[in-house]
Homo-oligomer: A and B are copies of this chain.
Amino acid sequence: MASDPSALAQHIAQVALIDQHAHGCWLAAGDRRRFENALNEANTEPLAGSGFDSQLGFAVRAHCGPVLGLPEHVDPQAYWDRRRQHGEAELARLFLPPANVSDWLIDTGIQDDTATAGTAEMAELSGNRAHEIVRLEQVAEQAARAPGHYASAFEEILHRRAATAVGTKSILAYRGGFEGDLSEPTAAQVAEAADRWRDNGGTRLRDRVLLRFGLHRALRLGKPLQFHVGFGDRDCDLSKANPLLLRDFLEHSADTPIVLLHCYPYEREAGYLAQAFNNVYLDGGLSVNYLGARAPAFIARLLEMAPFGRILYSSDGFGPAELHYLGAALWRNGIHRVLRAFVAAGDWSEKDAIRVVDLIARENAARIYRV
């Protein structure tokens, strides 16, 4: 991209992104094992091999090495030796600004033992704005511990948290998947399910009634509702994370924007849903990082059935600040590769390509999240 003097290439290199789905970067130091494990999303066990031996690992060496003053493709040991010379906050200050992200939308719902940046810290470390995305299952778990009626507690916590947040998120994919009834339960069903859950400890929500309750409360809020879709860790049964299974729910979701995250390997199905429903959006975050050299082919598939007003950018960075930077670097490279080819073939004009870059990079997100 650097060597391409076209207006399109220049525009892609410079446009400020809205990263519409990410988590906090690490704040506390850790060992090499932690770092390498963070380069594998799907495996919940300690890695048997090196986390560097993957498209993501190669992409870190190719794109993040130079940010640390190292040559491209530097070997893993040299990368780690340089990286460990910096604290995590210092690494965030090195990697976040060159991502050129004006607004980070931070899902604060991951419960993890490791200290990670919250919304305010992401803003401070990057020198940019940050906004919260409220995870619905976390709200539910807070409501389980709150006094009084579960439904009222959920509603109170959701509204309080959402007042300063820009959207909500569901990890239903990790709590049983999309298959089956997703209609709104009755108040009596909710009360009964909540009593049962509270009696059982009220942790790690998997009750379908309460999951459905949360989704419908989020719909009423009207702020964008994000869904984890497809690729993630193996706690998610990928065969039940196909977004086509959300069809009935989408039929009843009215005007609330529904954002399908990650989507791999269902990005074509997600694009179809974005064409089928006025309020459905899609995003390839997480997948782009994990695909590395193969990200352009994936980004091209995101540009199939979905109207261009419904495609969003995110990194889904979490943990190493490299991932927040890499998402942006790989997306810029990939969209450039894809759109340059569309223009070269005479299928798109360069002016159109630049406009679509702006829509995906920030305008679509700015419109629905009002940031």
List residues of chain A with CB under 8 Å of any chain B CB: 40-45, 47-50, 53-55, 58-59, 62, 72-73, 231, 233-234, 237-239, 242, 244-245, 247, 251, 264-265, 268-269, 272-273, 275-279, 290-294, 297, 300-301, 303-309, 337, 342, 345-349, 351-352
Judge whether A276 and B58 touch: CB under 8 Å: no
Judge whether B278 and A48 touch: CB under 8 Å: yes
Minimal Cβ-Cβ distance residue in B for A42: B276
Question: Given the complex of chains A and B, what is the CA–CA distance between A54 and B352 in angstroms?
Answer: 11
Q: How many whole Å from A222's CB to the nearest CB in chain B? A: 15
Question: Given the complex of chains A and B, what is the CA–CA distance between A244 and B293 in angstroms?
Answer: 24
> Given A247-B234, A272-B42, A275-B42, are A308 and B239 also a contact pair (CB < 8 Å)?
no
Select A234's contact among B277, B279, B301, beta carbons within 8 Å.
B277
Judge whether B237 and A348 touch: CB under 8 Å: no
Q: How many whole Å from A35's CB to the nearest CB in chain B? A: 16
Judge whether B348 and A278 touch: CB under 8 Å: no
Minimal Cβ-Cβ distance residue in B for A239: B244
Number of identical monomers bound together in the oligomeric complex = 3
Minimal Cβ-Cβ distance residue in B for A248: B237
Question: Given the complex of chains A and B, what is the CA–CA distance between A242 and B245 in angstroms?
Answer: 13
> Given A47-B278, A233-B276, A238-B244, are A73 and B348 also a contact pair (CB < 8 Å)?
yes
Judge whether B238 and A272 touch: CB under 8 Å: yes
Chain B residues, Cβ within 8 Å of A231 = 272, 305
